[in-house]
Amino acid sequence: KIACIGTGKMAQAVIEPMIKKGVQSAENFSVFDVSPKTMEQVHQKLGVKTADSIPELVSGADLVICAVKPQNLTPAFFQELRKSDIRQNAILLSVIAGKSSSVFTQGGFEKVVRSMPNTPATIGEGMTVWSCTPNLTVDERKKIRQVLSSCGKSMYVDDESFIDMATSISGSGPAYIFMLMESMIDAGVHMGFPRDKATTLVYHTMLGSTLYAMETGEHPAILRNSVTSPSGTTASALYELENGRFRTVIKDAMWACYRRSLEMGN
């Protein structure tokens, strides 16, 4: 039995690929959300069961996925958890940014997995970084890896602090990519392309460039130089990016994200 507290985007990003890929059937899932409307939408979309309260949801579950917003991890939330009939060997899988495993061990769970997926997990193309408390057995770790790998690629780290760092790279990374896409599409429209055609150009340029980099294994700088001719169009574009502190802005944004993740943990 798998229970999921919260039914927002990150919850669905974990549940949906598991069902679609046959890792678990929908009938093995139960969900609860403080918003009955959202919970019903997920029930209709994925065919999962619903519960009327956290204690009802968690009772007898083998795996509890916690996907609430960080600000909802209140004393009242943990009181509800403590009221629950939690199985001794139940594993709690957190997908909440900035919250360490110790938050949940204090909340009544002995076995905790902390993870940071991203929204592409919804289509099975996500990147999830995870860590766990030392008391998970080898078999339990294998099962967690299977669950998270259904969402795309998963990466285990021994040191939980790497998850805060990963939040700034892969966790929030899709937002940076989407903003870059948006900027390129808008520029294409400004030049005269119809929006749908500009969108196709940008999407496939992003996709193709990523696949090309992965396939060749070359350093991004080498690939960038291979596109750049002296005094050419690409060189002119890159000059403007460097002049606008493109690299520095990206790095500063990632450091801001990392610091915020640490702040949320405190």
Q: Summarize the annotated binding site for NADP(+) as residue ranges.
A: 5-10, 67-70
Cα dihedral 27→32→35→39 (10° resolution): -10
Retrieve residue 31's tokens: 């969900």
Closest Cα to residue 20, out of 122, 171, 115, 138?
122
Binding site membership: which residues?
5-10, 67-70
Retrieve residue 29's tokens: 């899932």
